[in-house]
Amino acid sequence: MATTSAALPSMAALSLSPPPLLSASSSSCSRQCLHPPRPRRNLVWVLNPGAPGGPVCSTQVLKEGTRDDRVVDRSLLEFEEASSDDELWAASCLRVRTFNQFNPSTYAVEDLKRSLAEREFEALKERIAGKRESFRRVSCINATLPMSQIMIGSNDLLSTCKFSKSGKDRVVVATLDLNQCLWLPDEIVGTKPQQDIGADFARAYLSNVCVAEELQRNGLGYALIAKSKIVAQEWGITDLYVHVAVDNEAAKKLYMKSGFEYESEEPAWQARFLDRPRRILLWTSIAASCDL
């Protein structure tokens, strides 16, 4: 289903937005760190620690196109707007690990990861603080789980995407940005509502939509988008947009399920000029009541 402009390989990476995580000056470095998709691995998750008889555990072999729906205890999920720098940093780290593939043997690869996360973190804080021109309002919305629910097999997710809330450790497992603005830089522009009836207030875009690789196909993306609609409605938004690569079928399927429909697509010349896959623009009305 900000970011690199590389093609999105899976449902984990669902949309793109400015500012890019990788600028032209850093593209040569990032290409050196690109690596074929990481092999799927065995994971052990605590499913329901409070179940009768004690914790219920299951070993999952993560295969393409399959997922055990019991992996996530949905009662422990929280969908909220980020309220601390600690959580914004965790969300930035999740975006870096989702939108990039790194070769572990590459020299100073951990330094590169941290540099990319710092760049996204600072840009995200600026947008939320209203310091980026053309952004009227921005919120980072996350899905989080208690750290105890992610036990074995994903040390990287635990170490890079955790944060502390009310004295307890949680992990950001899905994230997106809600941007109240007329347009996103370098993206095709929505047409609803019309400019003369307050489009700068009533139009918004989703961006940086991603789900942790380990927890895909558990409905997190769908639920996170539903939460973003509720927040957008509270802001007075009536028309919500998202950009998605034309060949990202998993993301398009998710957005269509969430009520989005096709509005327009990027000209081929623009995609070539920006050296990225061509995008389509999807739209949905959120004037009606939205519920998770």
Q: Which of 107, 222, 241, 255 is catalytic?
A: 255
Phi, psi (deg, nearest 5) at residue 27 = -65, -35
Q: Kind and range of the H or E element at 131?
A: none
Peptide bond into 19 cis (omega under 30): yes
> Is-contact 56 123, C-beta < 8 A?
no
Contact of 221 with 208, CB cutoff 8 Å: no
Preceding peptide of 37 cis, ω within 30°: no
State how far the Cα of 128 lies from the Cα of 236, in Å rounded to an integer. 17
Q: Rounded to 5 degrees, what are φ and ψ at 192?
A: -115, 140
246 Rama class: left (phi>0) / alpha (psi -120 to 50) / beta: alpha
Whether the CB-CB separation of 43 and 62 falls below 8 Å is answered with yes
Instruction: Identify whether 205 is a catalytic site residue.
Output: no
Residue 181: CB atoms within 10 Å:
20
> Is residue 33 a contact partner of residue 260, using CB atoms and an 8 Å limit?
no
Active site residue ranges: 255
